[in-house]
Chains A and B, each alone.
Chain A
């Protein structure tokens, strides 16, 4: 198992190197190599996640080690799908290092034997967790695209074109891809929250219990809802949208990690270590 973790990390790191080489040298083969290595990493990572799932019969998010590994897996998978859909190859310089870092941190955390609770084995929990993670991965990609947008916009606006100008795609493509990421993320997170509420009602007899995680999830959801509304109603696009995607991702990061570590609550066990 540990060998597989190391192998996955190694592949993610190699992919990162390839993508950075592509950023500097701009040879198409380099990004292709980066993408194939990342996909290979995703396959080994899937074996890792699948084995953990088979061993416990529940989704492997019983401690911070597993949760982070799951985050890395979903992020990589989402990037592969987005890459195939939008061909935004340069986004690999954001995803590959991020997946590498997440997996390195995950591997350094203690691997506690999972305490299997029957509540984890429900289909609705599996659905809730996977769909929320997928949504958050899409928001993470939106943040990455937003960062790239700011670089490109700054180059054009200030007329000091520099390193990134020729390496990054058009503002239009970045803006549209970012928007697609947010729409996808928002749809998935909404579905995830609904399944969460339903399951909470089935287990605890109430949809909402003012748990810090619930409150911050609601704040994150409202944030992205406002962002989408502003875009559709008054054309909040371009730089503003990019900045909001980045801020939104930090709100989400706090909801995911900060709330669990600082306020505890009934999602705390996902991030125990």
Chain B
């Protein structure tokens, strides 16, 4: 009996459910049509133009060092420039980066061409150079290209030495100055944060900065592969040369041990030794000192070998075969290359080091391809955010979010607590929810669409997006 009763009720219940679903679909369709017409109306009604992102500048590839020196901004000059640009109605936001290899101005402005002209004019006036003298060296990027360029700069893909880490610090300083002077706003803040994030990703996910690309760093990289750590390793510098001195300085920075300096002129040797807080030895003492030291950097102007195979062979027994690393930067060479044949001794001359560098540069370039992919992905993501700052997509996203929540909650309640409602009642509840959503959204929509936004509309749009968590990231 009970079963029969249940069975007889089934078609009626099924019918009611189907009706309720139809009503729901009808309301959804209406809602969607209403949103569509709203969107179209907005398109015609508001021509809310986004700020253009524009980057102009010159770097080591486009301008020679004299021009870069002339155009370069000192800290005080950069502060003054930011102040001046802030006063200009043609520029909304600005960041100025000035290093020895590049001067770049990143701008958010209502009109990119006017902003570029303003910047050029300012450079010309403040540096006292006619625009025609630097115009050819200038590059101007707008939109995606500007974003891509700043990502590349921060990731050190646009540097003279790909992968060098200094540029990121310089860019961070430039941004800090801009925030202190309050010349960056919603757009450039977001762009710069994204830039730092991209640069970090590039550094951690690619091997772009892994390998040494200068003579002294290559020598240190090799030294580490021989000795593990350079800490406490004693160094002998033979002769004086800029590159050798640089290598010693790098070794000291890596906490190498005592420094010995041997020079033909003892006086010059003493001078160098005091520079490195080391000990000067006479040229004749080199062989004896080989028992003590671990790394020998040689760069004399001698025509013949300064250290020969036999000299070294003798001392290896006394050293109990502890490894010796010769870095021969001299041309012609100071160290007999035959020494490399002996056990536990490693001789690298200038060509060998250059080969190491070339190989490392190749590695970096290979890694740069991976970095480009990361950057391209970031450019697309930034553009999506940037476009979302327009009024229409924000309002659309807002409606979708609120309606999505209301719909999900309604469905849950209808299926659980209100499943006994007659179709007419159910329809009434759905209508009420629809009306509530529209009324809740009415004021914010009017505020964003109309003149409620005083000043930069992007600030309010960005706030709205953050408040309702409209961006996925």
Given contacts A157-B340, A234-B320, A238-B323, A170 and B228 within 8 Å (CB-CB): yes
> Is B321 in contact with A156, judged by CB distance below 8 angstroms?
no
- Chain B contributes a number of interface residues (CB within 8 A of A) equal to 23
> Is A170 in contact with B359, judged by CB distance below 8 angstroms?
no
How many Å from the CB of A16 to the closest CB on chain B?
25
Q: Which residues of A contact B224 (CB under 8 A)?
A: 170
> Is B340 in contact with A165, judged by CB distance below 8 angstroms?
no
Flag whether A235 is at the interface (Cβ < 8 A): yes
Q: Which residues of B contact A156 (CB under 8 A)?
A: 222, 225-226, 346
How many Å from the CB of A238 to the closest CB on chain B?
5
Choice from A161, A165, A235, A239 contacting B320 with Cβ under 8 Å: A235
* B212-253 near A? 1/0 per residue, CB < 8 Å: 000000000010111110000000000000000000000000
Q: Which residues of A contact B226 (CB under 8 A)?
A: 156, 170-172
> Is B343 in contact with A240, judged by CB distance below 8 angstroms?
yes
In the assembled complex, the Cα of A235 lies from the Cα of B226 at a distance in Å of 17
Given contacts A156-B346, A170-B228, A171-B225, A161 and B321 within 8 Å (CB-CB): no
Flag whether B319 is at the interface (Cβ < 8 A): yes
Flag whether B356 is at the interface (Cβ < 8 A): yes
Choice from B211, B228, B344, B352 contacting A238 with Cβ under 8 Å: B344
* A148-178 near B? 1/0 per residue, CB < 8 Å: 0000100011010100011001111100000
> Is A171 in contact with B321, judged by CB distance below 8 angstroms?
no
> Is B340 in contact with A169, judged by CB distance below 8 angstroms?
no
Flag whether B348 is at the interface (Cβ < 8 A): yes
Q: Which residues of A contact B323 (CB under 8 A)?
A: 171-172, 238
Closest to B322 in A: A235
Flag whether B355 is at the interface (Cβ < 8 A): yes
Q: Which residues of B contact A152 (CB under 8 A)?
A: 225
Q: Which residues of B contact A235 (CB under 8 A)?
A: 317, 319-322
In the assembled complex, the Cα of A171 lies from the Cα of B228 at a distance in Å of 7
In the assembled complex, the Cα of A173 lies from the Cα of B340 at a distance in Å of 21
In the assembled complex, the Cα of A172 lies from the Cα of B325 at a distance in Å of 13
In the assembled complex, the Cα of A152 lies from the Cα of B224 at a distance in Å of 12
* A240-252 near B? 1/0 per residue, CB < 8 Å: 1000000000000
> Is A165 in contact with B225, judged by CB distance below 8 angstroms?
yes
How many Å from the CB of B329 to the closest CB on chain A?
16
Q: Which residues of B contact A238 (CB under 8 A)?
A: 321, 323, 343-344
Flag whether A237 is at the interface (Cβ < 8 A): yes
Flag whether A120 is at the interface (Cβ < 8 A): no
Q: Which residues of A contact B225 (CB under 8 A)?
A: 152, 156, 165, 170-171
Choice from B317, B346, B348, B355 contacting A234 with Cβ under 8 Å: B317
Q: Which residues of B contact A237 (CB under 8 A)?
A: 320-322, 344
Given contacts A170-B226, A172-B228, A238-B323, A161 and B346 within 8 Å (CB-CB): no
In the assembled complex, the Cα of A171 lies from the Cα of B348 at a distance in Å of 16
In the assembled complex, the Cα of A199 lies from the Cα of B91 at a distance in Å of 93
In the assembled complex, the Cα of A171 lies from the Cα of B325 at a distance in Å of 12
Closest to B227 in A: A172
In the assembled complex, the Cα of A106 lies from the Cα of B12 at a distance in Å of 71
A residues 122-169 in Cβ contact with B at 8 Å: 152, 156-157, 159, 161, 165-166, 169
> Is A159 in contact with B228, judged by CB distance below 8 angstroms?
no
In the assembled complex, the Cα of A237 lies from the Cα of B224 at a distance in Å of 18
Flag whether A236 is at the interface (Cβ < 8 A): yes
Closest to A240 in B: B343
Q: Which residues of A contact B319 (CB under 8 A)?
A: 235
> Is B317 in contact with A159, judged by CB distance below 8 angstroms?
no
B residues 191-217 in Cβ contact with A at 8 Å: 210-211
> Is B346 in contact with A173, judged by CB distance below 8 angstroms?
no
* B77-101 near A? 1/0 per residue, CB < 8 Å: 0000000000000000000000000
In the assembled complex, the Cα of A172 lies from the Cα of B229 at a distance in Å of 9
In the assembled complex, the Cα of A176 lies from the Cα of B340 at a distance in Å of 22
In the assembled complex, the Cα of A159 lies from the Cα of B359 at a distance in Å of 11
How many Å from the CB of A155 to the closest CB on chain B?
8
In the assembled complex, the Cα of A182 lies from the Cα of B345 at a distance in Å of 23
Closest to B318 in A: A235
In the assembled complex, the Cα of A251 lies from the Cα of B40 at a distance in Å of 86
Closest to B320 in A: A235
> Is A161 in contact with B356, judged by CB distance below 8 angstroms?
yes
B residues 326-355 in Cβ contact with A at 8 Å: 340, 343-344, 346, 348, 352, 355
In the assembled complex, the Cα of A161 lies from the Cα of B352 at a distance in Å of 11
In the assembled complex, the Cα of A1 lies from the Cα of B341 at a distance in Å of 55
> Is A239 in contact with B348, judged by CB distance below 8 angstroms?
no
Q: Which residues of B contact A170 (CB under 8 A)?
A: 224-228
User: Which of B222, B224, B322, B343 has the most CB atoms of chain A within a 10 A radius of its CB?
Assistant: B343
In the assembled complex, the Cα of A202 lies from the Cα of B346 at a distance in Å of 55
* A175-199 near B? 1/0 per residue, CB < 8 Å: 0000000000000000000000000
In the assembled complex, the Cα of A240 lies from the Cα of B343 at a distance in Å of 8
> Is A157 in contact with B346, judged by CB distance below 8 angstroms?
yes
In the assembled complex, the Cα of A92 lies from the Cα of B225 at a distance in Å of 20
Choice from A165, A166, A239 contacting B343 with Cβ under 8 Å: A239
> Is A159 in contact with B352, judged by CB distance below 8 angstroms?
yes
In the assembled complex, the Cα of A159 lies from the Cα of B317 at a distance in Å of 25
How many Å from the CB of A149 to the closest CB on chain B?
11
Q: Which residues of A contact B222 (CB under 8 A)?
A: 156
In the assembled complex, the Cα of A235 lies from the Cα of B225 at a distance in Å of 20
In the assembled complex, the Cα of A238 lies from the Cα of B343 at a distance in Å of 8
Q: Which residues of A contact B321 (CB under 8 A)?
A: 234-238
In the assembled complex, the Cα of A152 lies from the Cα of B222 at a distance in Å of 11
User: Which B residues form the contact surface with A (CB < 8 A)?
Assistant: 210-211, 222, 224-228, 317, 319-323, 340, 343-344, 346, 348, 352, 355-356, 359
Given A161-B356, A161-B359, A172-B227, output 14 extra A-B contacts at Cβ < 8 Å. A156-B225, A159-B348, A165-B225, A166-B210, A166-B211, A170-B225, A170-B226, A235-B319, A235-B321, A237-B320, A237-B321, A238-B321, A238-B323, A239-B344
Question: Would you list 24 pairs from A and B whose C-beta atoms are within 8 A, ordered by A residue?
Answer: A152-B225, A156-B222, A156-B225, A157-B340, A159-B348, A159-B352, A159-B355, A161-B356, A166-B210, A171-B227, A172-B323, A173-B228, A234-B321, A235-B317, A235-B319, A235-B321, A237-B320, A237-B321, A237-B322, A237-B344, A238-B344, A239-B343, A239-B344, A240-B343
Identify the 8 closest CB pairs spanning chains A and B, nearest first: A235-B320, A235-B321, A170-B228, A172-B228, A238-B344, A173-B228, A159-B352, A237-B321
